[in-house]
Amino acid sequence: MNNSHAALKQQVLVLLSGGIDSAVCATKLCAEGKSVHALSLRYPGNTNEREINNATFLAEKLNISHVVLDFKFIEQMFDGVNTSMSFNVGGAINNCVSRGKIPVPMSVELLHLTALMFARIRGIKHVYWAIHQDDLVGTSQEKILEYLSALEKLPALGSYSPCKFETPFIGYSKKDMVDLGISLDIDFEHTHSCSASSNAPCCVCHQCVLRASAFDSLFPLKQAVGA
């Protein structure tokens, strides 16, 4: 009975980065009764190891399937290449920030194409990306949705079953995400938001500022006393 009930659950894939937003997304999907699969990507040089550990912690807490793919192969693409571009660690399209020494243009696109392949192998038809309004740096919501729509057409070119990208929080602010996380009892100590470092937060990058501002808005007195 339990097995057949599980089989009836909608299977979904969530891109689990180890930050607040994807933690909120995965936890909410579980609360809605969906069968959640999580996918994380280990960057070249293990430059996001803290985030990977956070993602693993959450997946174990939620008791969901979690796969970590190693993108070390990317380093081979840059043999003999001299460039100052930086590896993209998240956010909106073409939002390249400094993290490690490996430059990877189109890394978000690579993430999403990998997710499509991962979902197709498992017969999953819905991929969740926890992008929100404050991630849209230098682009627009319409542009993001246009980009995702184009990606969704790729499986059809090979006569594969369709797979849809879901962006349920694209109209949310970072404050909204933290507020929702509180209601879902997210353990924020096991999330990491800094774009510049996988160790101590830099406190000056866009993601650090967003996180601090969100918590300050929700807990002004607590922040004021340094708690």
Secondary structure (3-state) at 125: coil
Could you tell me the CA-to-CA distances from 146 to 138, 142, 166 in Å, in that order?
A: 15, 6, 13
What is the C-alpha to C-alpha distance for residues 145 and 164, in angstroms, rounded to an integer?
Answer: 11
Task: State pLDDT tens for residues 161-199.
Answer: 788 999 999 999 999 999 999 999 999 999 998 877 767
Dihedral pair phi/psi, residue 118, rounded to 5°: -60, -45
Closest CA to 208 of 87, 91, 52, 85: 91
What is the C-alpha to C-alpha distance for residues 113 and 115, in angstroms, rounded to an integer?
Answer: 5
Task: State pLDDT tens for residues 35-68.
Answer: 999 999 888 777 788 899 999 999 999 999 999 9
Strands in 71-207 per DSSP E: 126-128, 164-166
2-224: CATH topology is Rossmann fold (3.40.50)
Buried b vs exposed e over 177-189: b needs ≥16 C-beta within 10 Å? Answer: bbbbbeeeebeee
- Is 206 a residue whose pLDDT tops 90? no
Q: Is 12 left (phi over 0), alpha (psi -120 to 50) or beta?
A: beta
Number of other CB atoms surrounding residue 35 within 10 Å? 16
Instruction: Note whether 99 and 47 are within 8 A (CB).
Output: yes
Q: Is 80 left (phi over 0), alpha (psi -120 to 50) or beta?
A: left
Instruction: Note whether 14 and 4 are within 8 A (CB).
Output: no
Q: Write down the pTM of the prediction.
A: 0.85
